[in-house]
Amino acid sequence: MTVVLFYYLLVINIVTFLVYGIDKFKAKKGKWRIPEATLLLLAVIGGSVGAWLGMKVWHHKTLHKKFKYGIPFIMIAQVALMFFYSNNYGTIF
């Protein structure tokens, strides 16, 4: 089970990073955009590291407060949940 979780987190973070890049590209070209709710949802379901890296690498959504503060908050909450889980139920990976 832990191997599945590892690969899930790897894939969701890569996908999230790429989606942030695609949205930035679309923003520059004036094309249809990926909804902010989708970008935030990807972070919530495990892609917070990919979202944060996407914001930094693509310079995307860095001035929007819900991303500037929301993504780090989601990441911290996910790390805290991992520590809580590992302390109470064993290792995650």
Tell me the per-residue pLDDT of 30-82, one tens digit each, with 9 for 90 and over. Answer: 999 999 999 999 999 999 999 999 999 999 999 999 999 999 999 999 999 98
Total of domains in the chain:
1
Q: How confident is the model at residue 86 (pLDDT cuts 50, 70, 90)?
A: confident
Q: Give the separation between CA 24 and CA 62, rounded to whole angstroms.
A: 11
Domain that holds residue 42: 2-89
Asked if 54 and 75 count as a contact pair (C-beta separation under 8 A), the reply is: no
The pLDDT, as a whole number, for residue 85 is 85
Instruction: Report which residue type is found at 62.
Output: T
Residue 92 has pLDDT above 90, yes or no: no
Q: How confident is the model at residue 7 (pLDDT cuts 50, 70, 90)?
A: very high
Asked if 76 and 60 count as a contact pair (C-beta separation under 8 A), the reply is: no
Q: Give the separation between CA 20 and CA 52, rounded to whole angstroms.
A: 9
Asked if 43 and 53 count as a contact pair (C-beta separation under 8 A), the reply is: no
